[in-house]
Amino acid sequence: MAKPNPKKKRRIWRTLAITVGALAVLLFLFVATFVFNPFEGRVLELRDVVPRGVNFFVHKQRLVDDFDPFPQPRFWSDLTSAPGWRDLQASTLGQSWQRHGADRSVQQVVAALEQVKTDSSGFLDVLRDAFGEEVIVAGYEQDYTQQPPRPLAQPWWCVYTRVSWKVKAGYGLFGLGFLDGALKQQGIETSKDGELFVLKVPGATGPLYVRRYLDLLMVGNNKLLLEQSQRLLDGNRDEEPIGVMASYEDGVTKRVARWSSVHAVDEPNAVDFVAEPNAFDAFRRFAATWPNRADKDSMNERVLASFLNLRGWQMLTGAMIFGQDALVATGQVELNSREHTGFQSSFYKAEQAPRQKWLDPFLGMVPETACACAALRMPSAEFLTAMFDALEDAEKELINDALRRVQFQGQQLNDMRDLIERLRHAFLPRTGFVFRKNDPDMSRDESGKLMVPVTAKSPVPQVAWVFWLERGASAKAEELVTMLRTNYSNFRFQNVWHLPVSFGNSRLQEPVTEFTNPLIPGTGELAMIVFGDFFVLSNSGPLVRDILRTHHSRQTGARSLRDTEEWKRFEGDPDRSELASSLNGLVWVDGQKMLPLIDDYVNFAAAASDLPDPAWMMENRPSAEETVRRAQFARYGSKAAMPKAMTDEGGEFDVAVTNYLKQQWQQARTNFTAKDRADMQQLRAMAQMLRSASLQLELENNYIRFQARLAPNWR
């Protein structure tokens, strides 16, 4: 038998190798020419592809790392095991989630993604291959091709995403017969419009336009955005990307970079965003009515209207940062200063001062028992005027009438505005607030009577206002306290007490002055003190006492907010702190200390009664008679001047006063409807899940810069 020729065998293998190599080259050339080039580059920066004129923009990197598996976020197990989670599920918010089918929608998305993976035999994972690396959603709410721009019935949007080679290959197969046929079986029609592929999907309101450039895939419901983005990719100077906007640089880039530096994180897990609020029709309608300066039912809303004007919000830029132990929202609101009221202009032009000179001393006097506090740099006189203007007309008139019967600095006062004007230069443009659960003062006098009785039962917290005094202005503030103490009956106070500030076997020199009236909701008193460079006004003498003890902590040993572990965790290293060096405002909330306060509201609502309390009726009768006389019987100078038949039981005046008292009682009690009670339970569940929250504000006439932080209670 002849042996195989080795040379012939080598020729066969060489021929086979050349043939395979040639086929591989031909296949590569085919793929590179008709499908995609495996060696093509990447778009350097996705944000540079989005035009700066869009009304909304959301950007996220490394999305695939946030789920384990999709749609379950990596923090889900911590969240669902946190205290309060089950109550939150049963709350209005949780039921709304179920009612609107959110769970079902998520499951449908999951099913669709799994179907794609199954149909491709595991080749294509939509989340990982199409959206996992980097994705942007941007678009328009206004049609700027018309002048003036008009609201769109449906927003024009575009999704920009980095895709893997698998999606590039799939995109390259568009237009080839077998893929078009497969899509047609799914009810999807494909066509070509220049460089764009057009998809008509069943159930969609219009066609989808698709285009790829390197590793960027763009999918939109309107050609305009894709055309603008392509011009940016081509280097057209008529278009500018969103990332070059000054508001984006200030609201996103710089603020995220600062957070990253403080926490030594090179690549923070963040979602950055841009929105033009007043481009949204729903926001414009909301901003036109809220907050309402003339709201009859909510003093809080009337006060808020003094500070907030949503119509002037031009641009919102910022980022949500997912830290290891907190969720942070940071950014900037660009304002139209021409929309400011006089007070808002002065508020946003507050003094510039390092926080170490004004904020730290205030925080050092906030008792550790406080559930919340706030400090704002703002003109105090204008703030007091805004607060007074928010009162009901009858309440303002009662205060003005009392002030007209007293003197301040040896001169007769005209009204509250006159008093505020005389105090204007005594206060620095800073105001602080301290909140704490109300524990009734059960102190009794020598006869055994309560020194601070309370008839107007209410779950309101203890609240203190802290005002900074100009150098040498303490005498003027002391004179205010003296005026009130001397003329307390004119202001309908029943008694005046001096509450000593004791600690151990000692006491501080400054006592707290308390003015009692059982009709003051919840606490039955007003309290005040002047010490050092501060004037403190509160609805609770014990709270003022504890503020003073905390201020003198070196003597008393009292602990302040800054001594708590939660604050130390938030403030961090002084050299690398989340607190900005120059702040206009700070709000701090301790979630766990809020729980007893919320429980007070829940219990109060549960105990509500439709029948007026007799003691409440008796205590409120004198003030009600005066209010009704002024409103309905102003022709009589006093109750004594009325005919006896009117004031006797069953008389016209007597009936009018009784009806007024019943209305006031119902208004106070029906403030807690079934919905309100449900909302309080929901708020309680949220507080259980919260260790602390903070909000930092930096204000200028044309912007608000903010940083909010939520520290969850699940670790």
User: What pLDDT was estimated at residue 519?
Assistant: 79
Dist. CA 110–CA 113, nearest whole Å: 5
**Which range has the worst mean pLDDT, 23-32, 149-158, 576-585, 701-710?**
23-32
Q: What is the pLDDT of residues 647-670, one digit of tens each?
A: 888 889 998 988 888 877 766 655
User: What pLDDT was estimated at residue 27?
Assistant: 54
pLDDT for 211 beyond 60: yes
pLDDT grade for 126, boundaries at 50, 70 and 90? confident
Dist. CA 586–CA 125, nearest whole Å: 45
Q: Is 153 helix (H, G, I), strand (E, B) or coil?
A: strand
**Which range has the worst mean pLDDT, 152-166, 167-181, 188-202, 295-309?**
167-181
User: What pLDDT was estimated at residue 22?
Assistant: 60
235: left (phi over 0), alpha (psi -120 to 50) or beta: left
Highest-scoring range by mean pLDDT, 261-275, 560-574, 614-628 = 261-275
Element (H, E) at 601: helix 591-606
Which residue's entry shows tokens 């309100």? 676
Dist. CA 690–CA 710, nearest whole Å: 7
pLDDT for 103 beyond 70: no
361 burial level (CB within 10 Å; 0-12, 13-18, 19+):
middle
**Which range has the worst mean pLDDT, 169-183, 333-347, 430-444?**
169-183
**Which range has the worst mean pLDDT, 250-259, 305-314, 406-415, 436-445?**
305-314
User: What pLDDT was estimated at residue 482?
Assistant: 93
User: What pLDDT was estimated at residue 545?
Assistant: 95
pLDDT grade for 300, boundaries at 50, 70 and 90? confident
Task: Give whole-number Cα distances, 445 to 11, 239, 453, in Å.
Answer: 118, 78, 11
Q: What is the pLDDT of residues 342-386, one digit of tens each?
A: 777 777 776 667 888 889 999 999 999 999 999 998 888 888 888
Q: How large a percentage of the chain has pLDDT more than 90?
A: 40
pTM: 0.83
**Which whole number is the average pLDDT over 676-692?**
86
Q: What is the pLDDT of residues 104-121, one digit of tens each?
A: 766 766 676 677 677 666
User: In the chain, what is the greatest distance between 2 CA atoms, to the nearest angstrom?
Assistant: 145
Phi, psi of 660 (to 5 degrees): -60, -45
To 10 degrees, what angle do helices 393-403 and 614-632 make?
Answer: 80
**Which range has the worst mean pLDDT, 55-69, 73-87, 237-251, 682-696?**
73-87
What average pLDDT does the structure give for the chain?
84
Dist. CA 474–CA 492, nearest whole Å: 26
Dist. CA 214–CA 163, nearest whole Å: 9
Question: For residue 456, which of 620, 670, 602 has the smallest C-alpha distance?
Answer: 620
**Which whole number is the average pLDDT over 604-608?**
68
Rounded to 5°, angle at Cα 373 from 367 and 378: 125
**Which whole number is the average pLDDT over 301-328?**
88
Which residue's entry shows tokens 């021929």? 15
User: What pLDDT was estimated at residue 34?
Assistant: 47
Q: Which residues, in sequence order, are CB contacts of 630 under 8 Å at separation 6+?
A: 394, 397
Q: What is the pLDDT of residues 485-512, one digit of tens each?
A: 999 998 889 999 999 988 887 888 888 9
**Which whole number is the average pLDDT over 674-679?**
72
**Which range has the worst mean pLDDT, 265-279, 404-418, 620-634?**
620-634
Q: How large a percentage of the chain has pLDDT more than 70?
A: 85
134-143 and 525-531: which strand pairing?
A: unpaired
pLDDT grade for 617, boundaries at 50, 70 and 90? confident
Q: Where are the domains of the chain?
A: 46-244, 246-337, 340-603+688-712, 609-671
Choice between 129 and 11, residue whose per-residue pLDDT is larger: 129
Q: Give me the count of residues in the chain.
A: 715
